[in-house]
Structure 1
Amino acid sequence: MEPLEVVAAVRTACVDAGEQDPLDEASQLRLKHHGLEGSTLATSGEDGFAFSHAGAVDLAVAPGARGRGVGGTLAAEAFAGSGPVTAWSHGDHPAAAALAERHGLRRARALWVMRRPAAEPLPELVVPDGIEIRGYRDADRDEVLRVNASAFAHHPEQGSMDAEDLAGRMSEPWYDPAGLLVADRGDGTLAAFHWTKQHDARLGEVYVVAVDPAAQGGGLGRVVTLAGLHHLHGLGVEEVLLYVESDNEPAVKTYSRLGFTHADADTHVQYRRP
């Protein structure tokens, strides 16, 4: 089996076992659009892989092959040396914590998954005067990038999105311009946007919510979030999820007030070796 086939097989085995896909969206897009250019991939037979790229490692072992030292062998190669590196544990697994500690990585971030059943009624959407909520148009590209960069200036992944990254995401099968809702000031500039994502017939996602810092403090984040939820509910999904940094108290409060809840098991942890 070729190395990339091993990655696909292990990912499928994990998902079929009811686990999170071991590759997050950024890693999936990297492999899809750039292959192994600038990256390395180590495999252990057909049982596991370690994908190393830009100072980050994605390591996974098929559920049926665990407990045999496969993860330890891959980790020893992927985390060799003492240089800076990051790795995500999708699900906060104790085995991942043990591997991280063995190689000098410490818990750095916790990303919560919050969920909301679509059966719960939504509050009425009230849009402020001077703002129009509408679907994305091609002419909005530069404004979406500007608002995103400003809103996520200190975010290590989302804030670096450029035109190529945006185009890559928009080339995905799930993309729908009607689901990228923008808050138009009416003068060619955007105050905020909410990019929604429909995974399948039953699951939707609050994919990205960004508010121009100059427009923050007026409740616009809640407005565009609610607009996106109404859009997703209109598509007939059964559940909506979102990802939020556990220490982002304002965002957690906003989402909680809109009916989102978090279970401890729904936590992704990033480990980092400085």
Structure 2
Amino acid sequence: MDSLHHARQIERVAALSEAADGTAPLDEATLMALRHPERFRSWVEGEAVAVLVDDQVSLVVAPEARGRGLGSKLLDQLLGDVGPGTRLEAWSHADHPAARHLAGRTGFERVRELWVMRRRTSIPLPRLDPPPGVRLRTYTDDDAEAVLRLNAAAFAAHPEQGAMDADNLAERMAEHWFDPAGLILAVDTSEGAEGRLLAFHWTKQHSRELGEVYVVGVDPEAQGAGLGRLVTLAGLHHLADLQVNEVLLYVESDNAAAIRVYRDKLGFTHASEDTHVMYRRPA
């Protein structure tokens, strides 16, 4: 079976899994990679699939095929093919007992937790009040270079987001959900600033009911001025105006400062089952 057929099977099994579990088993980067055969390797066993993108492993078993050892079999095949000296990472897009068992059996260690936090749009939002010298506006094509530059600086320690280049930006903006009105910029209007980009909030509308705080980036030189909260709030107002029922966001579980803002200032909550776990196998 060629890569194109594998990609279709992977997407089908992932859709079945998401419908049953309520959680997408593949992240955005993996789904994008499936469009490009040279970007991924795959292993398929009936209704079970494994995908390798760079050093990222994804393993999905359709609901009706679970409990037969197919996931374990595929993971063993993948590990045998890549060899014992290869560093690998894998996400469990829920803190699932089966993932913990497989990780322990194959030498993967739990290294990271990512929280999903949620808020209902029926909760009133604080007033949007930009400080003097800061203007909020929406994205235009002329802003691409500035967004990429700020994104690289803001996420230098986060390779998943910080590595975004012009091609990846264009690919994301070609998605059906992209709306330039949902990419909100905070620019410096003080004398001599020439509209320098200070922060941005890229929102995503998944469906009529669900929106997302997709990416919030703040220029490191502008940290501490409350711009992250400002652009996040602006995006929440935008999503509320679209009449979605709920907004979600992803945040590192150890990012206490961000969690405090999201929880105490913006009304987000976190449930224990809304925890994604990264496992890593050292080289």
Match of 2:117 in 1: 114
Match of 2:56 in 1: 56
Q: 1:4: Cα distance to partner?
A: 2.5
Does the 8 Å contact 2:50/2:59 carry over to 1?
yes
Unaligned runs of at least 5 residues, structure 1: none
Q: Distance in 2 between matches of 1:8 and 1:198?
A: 21
SS at match of 1:158: helix
Does the 8 Å contact 2:34/2:40 carry over to 1?
no
Q: Distance in 1 between matches of 2:241 and 2:248?
A: 15
SS at match of 2:68: coil
Q: Which amino acid aligns with 1:5?
A: R
Q: Distance in 1 between matches of 2:152 and 2:173?
A: 17
Q: 1:139: Cα distance to partner?
A: 1.0
Matches within 5 A, 1:1-274: 2-32=5-35, 34=36, 36-45=37-46, 47-80=47-80, 81-82=83-84, 83-186=86-189, 187-257=194-264, 258-274=266-282
SS at match of 1:42: strand
Q: 1:79: Cα distance to partner?
A: 2.3
Does the 8 Å contact 2:33/2:53 carry over to 1?
no
Q: Distance in 1 between matches of 2:67 and 2:154?
A: 43
Superposed CA RMSD: 1.1
Q: Give the length in aligned residue pairs.
A: 271
Q: Which amino acid aligns with 1:96?
A: A
Q: Which amino acid aligns with 2:152?
A: A
Does the 8 Å contact 1:79/1:85 carry over to 2?
no
Q: 1:263: Cα distance to partner?
A: 0.4
Does the 8 Å contact 1:125/1:223 carry over to 2?
yes
Q: Distance in 1 between matches of 2:226 and 2:17?
A: 40
Unaligned runs of at least 5 residues, structure 2: none
Q: 1:113: Cα distance to partner?
A: 0.2
Q: 1:39: Cα distance to partner?
A: 2.1
Q: Distance in 2 between matches of 1:90 and 1:119?
A: 27
TM-score (norm 1): 0.96
Q: Distance in 1 between matches of 2:201 and 2:195?
A: 17
Q: Provide, for residues 199-228 of structure 1, a one-character-per-residue CA deviation record: whole Å limited to 9, x for no partner.
A: 111100000000001100011111111000
